[in-house]
């Protein structure tokens, strides 16, 4: 029994771990990179502060039993100077000082702290997105996605439908609450400007705020990777182009050059100490130190440098994909048409069913196509807007096409039965929540809707869609216009 419970808990964790309003590139930053850097931090910390990170030897040393420990501690704190094997050691104090100014390395003891800081930097954009999306939208989008994901593992059809209906109803309420009901010259100007610049004009009423905020977070993820690469270059005392730095690392790996030659992660380095004695001038001692901790730093930073470059490339690709999805009206309508066809809702594929009703088959076909495009265009641009299409894409990446198609079908039905044909749809149609029950639209419903659109008549709720009434409410149901009610408690 304990094994079964463990497997059930693991499956639940595996499902919900990556559920959220984000995509694979975001998870690559805030989850995989965060965990990777945190693991490296623990590894380097244990080697640096729990084990022996440095061992030094000085051929000439003053008398004293603790001098060796003192040398190792001093060289660890003050830093060491790497010297190539084909270079001669300085013979004068001035030459040593000049070499130390150019090559002194003292970042070993700071590596654990830098790795911890880098891990936090990868996670900060995710925290910002969670906070901003919840506080500004007034609802928890992650909870909506998580509820939709429960439909994937629902054990019964009724529970699956209930989960999908709750998510669809919550999305309808969200879109209705953010509708643009404003009047005046300024409101008209903002709407005109929004048609030109798209989601670049952040406005909750225009349905662009969520998309705008998400693109800002995307740019933050991308900027973070660039800053990470720059920090690693500065941290490793390299002040040239970052791509040249990567090229040098690859060249050293392919040519099997020792790191003592590249000076980035020297295994052997030199250290000088100045000691003052009473009644004597200052004495300078030089020794050689082995840095086993660099074996870890070497592997970690080489891997991290290329890992961050991969994350930067993936984030840039993801950003371009989102721009491609949201920038044009045609692309925004494409995904909605896709899911409407999956649910066999009014689509050009169904035009053959209406051909016998028109003497001119070609004219009927074209008219139906225009009606369908106009209907979908109104659904996307007046009801869903940028934010709604964005949430549909998020649902697709988290729960797949099947669940998302059901959600789009229910939202389409809500638009047709409650809001379509109303100026700015300030008020819903005269169907109350007690009378209305979500059902997946069928092919016949789609035909009725298309015929109504072709005839130029306003869509009537009870004639164009199948509305199921509960038996005990059929007689008492009456027409009224009201705001959508709060969604039911999420028990599924």
Q: CB 247: neighbour CB atoms within 10 A?
A: 11
Cα→Cα distances 219→26, 212, 317, Å: 11, 11, 12
- Summarize pLDDT for 427-462 with one digit per residue, the tens: 444 444 443 344 444 434 443 333 333 334 333 333
State whether residue 427 is helix, strand or coil. coil
- Summarize pLDDT for 211-250 with one digit per residue, the tens: 888 999 999 999 999 999 888 887 776 666 666 777 777 7
Distance CA 297, CA 267 (A): 10
What are the helix (H) ranges across 236-292?
242-255, 259-262
- Summarize pLDDT for 72-131 with one digit per residue, the tens: 888 888 888 888 877 888 878 788 888 888 888 877 888 899 999 999 999 999 999 988
- 236 Cβ contact list (under 8 Å, min separation 6): 107, 264, 301
Angle, helices 293-326 vs 242-255, to 10°: value is 130
pTM score of the predicted model: 0.73
Distance CA 270, CA 385 (A): 65
Q: What is the pLDDT of residue 469?
A: 39
């Amino acid at each position: 029994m304990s094994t079964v419970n463990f497997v059930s808990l693991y499956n639940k964790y595996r499902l919900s771990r990556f559920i959220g309003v984000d995509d694979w590139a975001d998870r690559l930053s805030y989850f995989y990179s965060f965990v990777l850097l945190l693991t490296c931090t623990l590894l380097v910390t244990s080697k640096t502060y729990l084990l022996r990170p440095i061992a030094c030897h000085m051929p000439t040393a003053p008398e004293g039993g603790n001098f060796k420990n003192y040398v190792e501690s001093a060289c660890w704190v003050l830093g060491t100077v790497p010297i190539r094997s084909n270079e001669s050691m300085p013979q004068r104090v001035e030459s040593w000082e000049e070499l130390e100014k150019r090559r002194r390395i003292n970042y070993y003891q700071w590596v654990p702290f830098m790795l911890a800081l880098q891990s936090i930097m990868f996670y900060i954009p995710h925290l910002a997105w969670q906070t901003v999306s919840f506080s500004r939208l007034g609802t928890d989008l992650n909870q909506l996605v998580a509820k939709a994901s429960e439909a994937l593992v629902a054990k019964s059809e009724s529970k699956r439908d209930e989960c999908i209906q709750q998510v669809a109803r919550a999305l309808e309420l969200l879109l209705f609450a953010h509708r643009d009901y404003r009047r005046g010259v300024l409101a008209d100007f903002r709407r005109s400007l929004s048609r030109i610049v798209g989601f670049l004009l952040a406005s909750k009423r225009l349905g662009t705020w969520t998309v705008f905020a998400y693109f800002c977070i995307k740019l933050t993820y991308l900027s973070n990777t660039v800053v990470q690469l720059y920090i690693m270059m500065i941290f490793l005392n390299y002040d040239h182009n970052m791509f040249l730095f990567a090229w040098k690392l690859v060249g050293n790996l392919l040519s099997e050059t020792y790191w003592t030659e590249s000076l980035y992660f020297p295994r052997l380095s030199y250290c000088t100490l100045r000691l003052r004695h009473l009644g004597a001038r200052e004495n300078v001692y030089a020794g050689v130190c082995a840095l086993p901790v660099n074996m870890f730093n070497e592997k970690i930073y080489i891997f991290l440098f290329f890992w961050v470059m991969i994350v930067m490339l993936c984030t840039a690709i993801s950003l371009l994909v989102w721009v491609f999805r949201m920038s044009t009206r045609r692309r925004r309508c494409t995904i909605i048409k896709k899911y409407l066809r999956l649910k066999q809702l009014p689509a050009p594929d169904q035009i053959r069913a209406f051909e016998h009703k028109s003497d001119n088959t070609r004219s009927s076909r074209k008219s139906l196509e225009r009606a369908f495009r106009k209907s979908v265009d109104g659904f996307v641009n007046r009801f869903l807007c940028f934010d709604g299409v964005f949430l549909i894409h998020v649902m697709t990446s988290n729960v797949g096409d099947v669940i998302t198609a059901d959600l789009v079908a229910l939202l389409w039905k809500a638009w047709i039965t409650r809001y379509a044909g109303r100026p700015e749809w300030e008020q819903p149609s005269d169907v109350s929540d007690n009378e209305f029950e979500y059902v997946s639209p069928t092919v016949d419903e789609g035909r009725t809707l298309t015929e109504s659109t072709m005839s130029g008549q306003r869509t009537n709720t009870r004639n164009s869609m199948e509305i199921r009434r509960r038996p005990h409410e059929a007689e008492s149901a009456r027409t009224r216009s009201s705001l959508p009610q709060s969604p039911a408690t999420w028990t599924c």
